[in-house]
A and B are shown apart, each in its own frame.
Chain A
């Protein structure tokens, strides 16, 4: 019933026409992204008019480095959501890898080994999530809610709930936290590289296209020969892997392994960013561009509220409200049926 019958165009003998160039440009950016960009500019203007320090290069770098960790998580959250899933465990996974990498670093005094173990932990977490969802046939929200709690517990257990190790003197970790290439901090480079790679994968490879297909219509995807299980597990592994990168960056920034601080709330922030960026909760629709712009917006908003001296508790409230608003807008746009109406 959501279908509109299009009046076929019998007057056009050639059924395939190239769209207008302007239209194509707009299609590339996307209407939703355009409105996000406008909102971002407006937000910057409002905050900047209240406090001109906002536009200082140092402040902009601050925004960039703060959003980078949320940003890479939001990028993989986007992939999982495109597939029709959700990963609530990303924050806990980042916390666990943060602790694990710092502890291994301390006992082995090798940054490389610490990072490697951290990444392996992330992959393991993703594999676990994927297996529980696929073979245990558990709803993705429940499965990752369970690992969300369990991994947090595990991180606190192995660390006794305290910060672990001290990485602040190791050159590798210092480079990750404070280094810069071409004047741009490493943290921002990581976000750029992760976002770009995932974007290219989604847009140009058959893997990306199959992710969209699976999220859009799993039955159709399966009947077209797509191995759904492999895709589901693969996407959760990707999410775990990137959560591990986030955890390692967290260790580098704070100089020690943090079981909860800094990683708590990443799940909410990443889901909010993806939803705000136009990723449909039922999957199959959205993209990395929107998510990245939304991440920037959230970062600017947070930074703005801070430099305008707004109580930080308000920031949580604002974030929650934003998630609901973003989803409401999406449901309206998607012409979804009201709850309980028969098909």
Chain B
């Protein structure tokens, strides 16, 4: 291995079970993986770490045959293998346990586990054998107290669903098994059972890849840690020879690109004030955003940031707490009310939540201002076209005309269309949820500059981002969330990647944290 960061080469007694060589994978203009090489050895637990968007999930998808790499190849026990589909990877003995298991709701646990390989007598399902098989499996892996073979899929807890998925994966010959944040929905007791299972698999000679953000877990279960950053392999460490701080450094150690223009600005009045907000996913959140200020909302995926945004806009029910816009309390029955008060949200899932994919650039840009453009309900076409053209020019949206179907634009241009919609509407408060997801580098810089301009014009901006450099580069202030709560707030001057990441993982460290 030529990588200077490799510490463990030669120190492990076992041989390489699965080897990824120079794997690259791009989605359009986005490089998800760049020449990643990685070894997983038989009988070891390799933890895979990295920030959101570092490429962990893409790598797992390559291993599971979901994605085919653009370049590079996989070696399984020294033999080159190519997987055209998840089925082929499965047949070769590779398993990836997804975070969100696919469970059939109205069918028993036993049938869910043996789906596709149900024991039969003639053409009939042999229910007795099936139940016996599942009982045997459960006892073998120590889950007999946690799971009953007869329970229906719909009655399972998140943890039980996870276990069903794992048991399903263990059918047949297993050579490599990857867990994608398996403990995010498990209780301590269940985590112990899972770790017992992982150790047993390891002792049986299975190679295990374990993806997690939770440091204490890594130190409990893993033998070795490999770190990815920005789709590249950073290096690996033996767990016995590293510590928390070093791993965080490896995950974030990246230079801020000179992508951020930032004009000096003086924040004005408090525009958005959220006090003690409680929803299904958000617990007692308070924060403020001033006019002309960019507040970054940091945290790991699932920290409740998007859910907070949806609550502020009135798209999900609020149980407690209040929202004020420019000092006026907001009575929210739906997004229309929030919009009338001057709050806009460019949501996380561009295609699913923001765009009318089969409609034109013009239709998409003017969607939120149609009533303003209408006289006696008739939309003034010239005014509409002018508005759309002006924003296409201003944001340098690359489209053949304003009538081009949005589905045919690149990701970056689609995102700019979403921004254009809000620029046209001119809300007082604009919430941007992952504004540069799936956007190439050039368009990212353009979007940053637009955000800077908007703040300069006095708009209050709340920017949710899972990318550290973006968060640090854009924000005047960063509010960090974890598990639906605000765990801390840092000013621009105090903000470092380590600090934000520590806050984002705060609860994990304090509650699960047995070891440093």
Contacts and interface: CB of A to CB of B under 8 A. Distances in A.
A224 B28 CA distance: 28
A212 B371 contact: no
A284 B374 contact: no
A219 B312 CA distance: 16
A220 B399 contact: no
A5 B392 CA distance: 18
A9 B357 CA distance: 20
B392 A225 contact: no
A226 B398 CA distance: 28
A244 B346 CA distance: 42
Contact of A15 (B28, B29, B397): B397
Nearest to B389: A16
A285 interface: yes
A10 B373 contact: no
A225 B340 contact: yes
Nearest to A16: B389
A151 to B, nearest CB: 31
A210 interface: yes
Contacts of A206: 370-371, 373-374, 377, 379
A224 B389 CA distance: 20
B170 interface: no
Interface string A10-49: 1000011111000000010000000000000000000000
Interface in A46-70: none
Contacts of B393: 15-16
A169 interface: no
A227 interface: yes
A222 B315 contact: yes
Interface string B308-343: 000001010000000000000000001110011000
> Which interface residue of A5, A209, A216, A285 has the most chain B CB atoms within 10 A?
A209
Contacts of B12: none
B374 A15 contact: no
Nearest to B377: A205
A217 B339 contact: no
Given A8-B398, A18-B401, A219 B353 contact: yes
A19 B358 CA distance: 18
B355 A220 contact: yes
A4 interface: yes
A15 B398 contact: yes
Nearest to A284: B358
Nearest to A17: B401
Interface of B: 28-29, 313, 315, 334-336, 339-340, 345, 347, 351-359, 363, 367-368, 370-371, 373-374, 377-379, 381, 389, 392-393, 396-403, 407-411, 413, 421
Interface of A: 2-6, 8-10, 15-19, 27, 204-207, 209-210, 212-213, 216-217, 219-227, 284-285
27 contacts: A3-B351, A4-B407, A4-B408, A5-B28, A5-B29, A5-B410, A8-B410, A204-B381, A205-B374, A206-B370, A206-B377, A209-B367, A209-B379, A210-B370, A213-B356, A213-B359, A213-B363, A213-B367, A217-B352, A219-B352, A219-B354, A223-B335, A223-B347, A223-B353, A224-B367, A227-B336, A285-B358
List of 4 A-B pairs having minimum Cβ-Cβ separation, nearest first: A225-B339, A8-B398, A206-B370, A224-B368
Given A6-B408, A15-B400, A209-B367, 19 more contacts: A3-B351, A4-B408, A5-B28, A8-B410, A15-B392, A16-B401, A205-B379, A206-B371, A212-B356, A213-B356, A213-B367, A216-B356, A216-B357, A219-B352, A223-B315, A223-B345, A223-B347, A224-B368, A225-B336
